[in-house]
Amino acid sequence: VLGLLSILGTFGFAAWRMGGGAALTAAALLALLPAHASYSRLGMLDHHAAEPLVTLGFLFAATLLVESADRRRGGPFRFLPAPGLAIVIAASLLIWPGSLLQLALVDAGLALLLWLGPPGDGCRRRATNAALAHALAAGLLLPFAGRSYAHWGSFAPVVLGGFQPWLLACGAGVHAVLAWRAHDGPGRRIAASLLLGALLLLASMLAWPELAGAPAEIWSWLARDEAFQSQVSESLPLFSADPRGRTQLAARLLSTAVLVFPVLLVLHAVALRRRFDAGHGALSALAFGLGIAAIAQRRFANAFSIPFVLLLGWFVAVWLPEALRARRLGRAARVGVGCAIGLLVLSALVPCLDALAPALDRRAQQQAGEPLRLAVDQWRRHELHRMAEWMAEHTPETSGYAPTGAVVARPEYGVLGHWSNGHIVVGVARRPAVVTNFGDDLGPENMAAMARYFQSAEPEASRILAALGARYVILEFRRQVPLHEFPAGSMISRAFFADGASATTAVARSRGEERHEPGRFPALARHRLVYEAAAKPWAPDQPFFKLYEHVAGATLSGRAPAGSPVRASLGLETAGGRRFRWEAEVDAGPDGRYRLRVPYATQGASTAVRADPAYRVRSALGERGVVVNEADVQQGRTVVVPGPLADETAS
């Protein structure tokens, strides 16, 4: 729906300012560009899906505001653009605080127009409407001014809080001064607005010292200086290194026409200078700023796709015909040039069609009734979603979730996994996630603890979970930090690759190479497998995910000859039919007693892993069967191993 609205909005703006030919061209191109289609596809639950509508909203609202200076439009119409722009500003910042970029670009364009444009009533009406719009938007966002974040504080520009209402209030003041000085020359208007802006900034920094760090926070986020942002694919440059060349990703997302975008921008700026138009002025400002932002971070490619296709539509349907007519070419020559340009545009879309091919193939497979052949990331998301649904039905509910999904109270436990799994854990499983897709934006401590956990072993891993309040852990292996490399004996090595059983070798991975290291690796005593996802089609010995529960563990207590080994083993079977054995070993003490902690219950557990009826405990005295109840495991009880030399003192 959001994608369709974006296409219709693009058509409407282009038809309003450029004509029907440009509208059809721009709308058709937008429908085909993967930069837009990848976010607007059905099921994409991401705030970036609404960014094209935000960009269109600023285009429409800014154009109407600038045209409010038209003397022919009197009465109440003069003030209608103000609430329209205010609603766009407030809605955009509620969708994503990063929409400050579009606001800054529109404000920069307005400032140039109000500074350098002709003085008089027209300038005053524009400035008045701009001041009203900023003041109304500040009022709409004022209820969020009291928010404070453990990591960001209350005045960070990258989260919704006090910064946005403050900035808009300052903008309202500056535009009000410009309205007051509208009949002065450009120099006085510039001086008055800059002086007030400087005074407001100085007073604000004295009142709220946190504001001093705002520019550094914005730059750190845009420049990807943060360790987390450097891991997010959306944060990578549009022309980042690729085995196929630096331009391949940009061409697949935006077509090879993106390579001539600077030329289109220059041509549009020259045409705008010859004949000013409010809509085209707003388009130039947004195209320039969003183009630079998209080059720095590909997440902006979706928002940039709007001004990009509008410029392409303008070039093909407006600029090119005018240029051909100006050269007095014959009809046949004009038709020939037009066909050549059309072929160039179609050829520019070839990389886009290549990017869309997998989705088109899956549609054809579905229509033919064939099994869907999914890409790696789609297989993974599918299995993650299935696991989250199982968690919603089979793990204890937690307190604190309102009907809207917001967390309103501290939950009883959390779920630890890679940060990229967080949104699905929260949204589908409805369980609290220790880290989410927001990474360290909500605090770097949990992100650091997540990385330490995957690289650690028991009992350190248990101490980390206890400190985080985490009861369940999602383990997986893929080539992403911090899952891609791990030492032998770590949680990825032992829990994911070895099912937590004791062993004399363990897998390790570093510098892209996997190896098996010898040693004595004890069994995991406080982690039990409760769910195993389907196996990877390209690696049948590896499931996509393993879900472990962190438990107190029951302690098996008994007697055996001093110093002799005692081994406990339990047969287990996953829902997918894979059978394996959990085994642990301990030596009896000098007094002939042994204590061995086990994580699995043989009776009463509600998990997707079925256990045999009893543990098999072997020692020099023989073999015994031991039944362990769920309450024993959850409460950390001691279970006496039966036999002639059983520990009679155990309780």
Smallest Cα–Cα separation from 5: which of 35, 36, 33, 34?
A: 36
pLDDT at residue 371 is higher than 70: yes
Q: How confident is the model at residue 246 (pLDDT cuts 50, 70, 90)?
A: confident
What is residue 37's three-state secondary structure? helix
Question: How far is it, in rounded angstroms, from Cα 89 to Cα 85?
Answer: 6
Q: How confident is the model at residue 651 (pLDDT cuts 50, 70, 90)?
A: very low
What tokens appear for 141 in the block?
């966002």
Q: Residues of 65-82 as b/e, b for ≥16 C-beta within 10 angstroms?
A: bbbbbeeeeeeeebeebb
pLDDT at residue 179 is higher than 60: yes
If you average pLDDT over residues 484-508, what whole number do you get?
Answer: 93
If you average pLDDT over residues 567-588, what whole number do you get?
Answer: 95
Smallest Cα–Cα separation from 574: which of 539, 600, 537?
A: 600
If you average pLDDT over residues 297-315, what whole number do you get?
Answer: 93
In this prediction, residue 512 carries a pLDDT of: 83
Q: How confident is the model at residue 404 (pLDDT cuts 50, 70, 90)?
A: very low
In this prediction, residue 647 carries a pLDDT of: 46
Q: How confident is the model at residue 9 (pLDDT cuts 50, 70, 90)?
A: very high
Question: How far is it, in rounded angstroms, from Cα 151 to Cα 474?
Answer: 25
In this prediction, residue 405 carries a pLDDT of: 46
H-state helical runs in 33-153? 34-40, 51-67, 81-95, 100-116, 121-141
> Using one digit for the tens of pLDDT, what is the confidence trace for 77-110?
555 789 999 999 999 999 988 899 999 999 999 9
Peptide bond into 518 cis (omega under 30): no
What is the identity of the amino acid at 585? E
pLDDT at residue 557 is higher than 60: yes
Q: How confident is the model at residue 403 (pLDDT cuts 50, 70, 90)?
A: very low
What tokens appear for 342 in the block?
């059309």
Q: What are phi and psi of 612, to 5 degrees?
A: -60, 165
Q: Which residue has the higher pLDDT, 410 or 423?
A: 423
pLDDT at residue 459 is higher than 70: yes
- Give burial (CB, 10 Å; 0-12/13-18/19+) of 150: exposed
In this prediction, residue 74 carries a pLDDT of: 45
In this prediction, residue 230 carries a pLDDT of: 59
**Structural domains for the chain:** 376-523 (3.40.50), 554-640 (2.60.40.3390)
Characterize the bridge pairing of strands 638-640 and 554-559.
Answer: parallel
Give residues with Cβ within 8 angstroms of 550, minimum separation 6: 462, 465, 470, 471, 472, 473, 526, 527
pLDDT at residue 221 is higher than 90: no
Tell me the average pLDDT of the chain. Answer: 87
> Using one digit for the tens of pLDDT, what is the confidence trace for 184-210?
999 999 999 999 999 998 898 888 887
In this prediction, residue 634 carries a pLDDT of: 95
Q: Residues of 175-207 as b/e, b for ≥16 C-beta within 10 angstroms?
A: bbbbbbbbeeeeeebbebbeebbeebeeebeee
CB atoms within 10 A of CB 138: 22
Smallest Cα–Cα separation from 478: which of 600, 550, 354, 379?
A: 379
If you average pLDDT over residues 47-55, what whole number do you get?
Answer: 89
pLDDT at residue 513 is higher than 80: yes
Q: How confident is the model at residue 438 (pLDDT cuts 50, 70, 90)?
A: confident
Smallest Cα–Cα separation from 125: which of 88, 186, 180?
A: 180
In this prediction, residue 377 carries a pLDDT of: 81
Q: How confident is the model at residue 27 (pLDDT cuts 50, 70, 90)?
A: very high
What is the identity of the amino acid at 550? H
In this prediction, residue 341 carries a pLDDT of: 81
Smallest Cα–Cα separation from 395: which of 197, 607, 195, 564?
A: 607
Q: Which of 210-224, 431-445, 489-503 is predicted with the least confidence, judged by mean pLDDT?
A: 210-224
Question: How far is it, in rounded angstroms, from Cα 383 to Cα 371?
Answer: 16
In this prediction, residue 220 carries a pLDDT of: 64
